[in-house]
């Protein structure tokens, strides 16, 4: 149980274009999902908390107009990287919690974004 599916696993796009990444909880409902970014040999950095039916909460330094988050249902959150630049190239990972404030986060398999 507690499977989080993320799609696509890899994407290459040109500078200036937008890319959408999907995150689905397959066997549970998630009112809250989390989006992380990971640079090589670095820790996971929380970008934003996605809340079903309401606006996402962004961490300090994360541009909300650049990283658009939509959480339209209890099983789907999307992250759209708008007007992508090469410096946006990174590994993006979503996660969700089953129930309860202290239950573990379960992660998707990540999306490797390369902006050329």
- Interacting positions 49-78 with another protein (CB under 8 A): 49, 51, 57
Q: Which is nearer to another protein, 5 or 70 (CB)?
A: 5
Q: Is the dihedral of CA 62, 64, 68, 71 positive or negative?
A: positive
Q: Which is nearer to another protein, 6 or 81 (CB)?
A: 6
| CB 113 within 8 Å of CB 88 | yes
The single-letter DSSP state of residue 76 is E
Residues in the chain: 116
Q: Which is nearer to another protein, 109 or 116 (CB)?
A: 109
Q: Is the dihedral of CA 57, 62, 66, 67 positive or negative?
A: negative
Residue 5 β-bridge partners: 24
Looking at 11-19, 40-48, 64-72, 75-83, which segment touches another protein (CB under 8 A)?
Answer: 40-48
Q: Which of 3, 83, 104, 116 lies at the binding interface for another protein (CB under 8 A)?
A: 104
Residues near another protein (CB under 8 A): 4, 6, 31-32, 34, 41-46, 49, 51, 57, 91, 93, 95, 97, 100-110, 112
């Amino acid at each position: 149980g507690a499977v989080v599916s993320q799609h696509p696993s890899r994407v290459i796009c040109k500078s200036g274009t937008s890319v959408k990444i999907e995150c689905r909880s397959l066997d549970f409902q998630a009112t809250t999902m989390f989006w992380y970014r990971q640079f090589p040999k670095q820790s996971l950095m929380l970008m934003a908390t996605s809340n079903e039916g309401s606006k996402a909460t962004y961490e300090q330094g994360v541009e909300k107009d650049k990283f658009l988050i939509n959480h339209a249902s209890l099983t789907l959150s999307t992250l759209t990287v708008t007007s992508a630049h090469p410096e946006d190239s990174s590994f993006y990972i979503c996660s969700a919690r089953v129930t309860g404030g202290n239950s573990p986060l379960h992660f998707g398999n990540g999306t490797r974004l390369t902006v050329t």
